[in-house]
Amino acid sequence: MTAFGVVAPIIVIAALGLLFARKAVHAALALAVVMIGLAVLYAANGAPFLFAVQIIVYTGAIMMLFLFVVMLVGVESGPEAVSDPIPGQRVAASFVGLAFGVMLVIGVGQVLANGFSAPVAAVEDENVEGLAALMFGPYVLAFQFTAALLVTAVLGAMVLAHQDRLTPKASQAELAAQRVRDFGADGKHPGNAPTPGVYARHNAVDVPALLPDGTPLESSVPGSLVKRGQVIRPPVTGPGLGEGNGEAGGGSGPRADGEAGGGSGPRADGEAGGGSGPRAEGEQSE
């Protein structure tokens, strides 16, 4: 019973954690600990198959499903309010729970006091085979029913969680064709947006990337940062960049020429309008 001595306190503490956890994820973790602990107890008590099934089914599948749902819905489900809307619920619940526990202790104690007629003789070696013989022998009907139950449950869950699409889903080919059409219509860049430049002073995504000719590519900075005005200008990277950024359109010197004329295709088009405005803001806030 060494396993019990180690595992039981952990299980109880984890179960209490379930009761007192503020966040649903913590509760789920606590429950997972309980389940794994129980699995260990199963293994220690002549039920190796249940040990595996407990972990695979409960911990691996059921609790994982819980975690999924927590993550799907849990973003806004903050900790519960302190005051309970039902008057006296906590006190009553604690009382009833306690009474229930006492009752259980008395009841089971009664059973134990009467003792068992059968001797302790767990057949550990043939655990899997024995279970199989039972499952496909006397309990085969129940087994079949659980199969039907599972299928029904899956269907039910799909029906409950299903949301009908109003329009057919666009295929990859259609999306690609649409991107090319957009490019043809108003020059929207068909590929990924360019990644921001790396300037390892701190979190680097707020620094625009530089084009080969040294001009910053404003569309490489995430839009939200631009809105917040948190875009950073690299202090000095190329000749004249520091002083040249203010006059955006009407730049002077040979480089401006290159920019206006060559412009390296569509990307320059897209950026010309959108890039200049926010950049000015970014400078002001800086």
**Contacts with another protein in 186-205 (CB under 8 A)?**
192
CB nearer another protein, residue 146 or residue 178: 146
H/E stretch holding 272 reads helix 266-285
- Going by C-alpha positions, the residue among 164, 157, 146 that lies closest to residue 69 is 157
Return the residue of 6, 134, 140, 280 that touches another protein, per CB under 8 A: 134
Site for another protein in 234-273 (CB under 8 A): 261-262
- Under a CB-based contact definition with an 8 Å cutoff, are residues 282 and 233 in contact? yes
Alpha-carbon span 164 to 174, nearest angstrom: 21
Site for another protein in 50-69 (CB under 8 A): 50-62, 64-69
Return the residue of 82, 141, 161, 200 that touches another protein, per CB under 8 A: 161
Site for another protein in 6-45 (CB under 8 A): 8, 11-12, 15-16, 18-19, 21, 23-29, 31-32, 34-36, 38-39, 41-43, 45
CA distances from 256 to 77, 107, 272 (A): 53, 90, 13
CB nearer another protein, residue 2 or residue 167: 2
Q: Say which residues have a Cβ less than 8 Å from residue 239's Cβ, sequence separation at least 6.
A: 214
Is residue 222 at the binding interface for another protein, with CB under 8 A as the rule? no
Amino acid at 23: K
Return the residue of 6, 140, 144, 156 that touches another protein, per CB under 8 A: 156
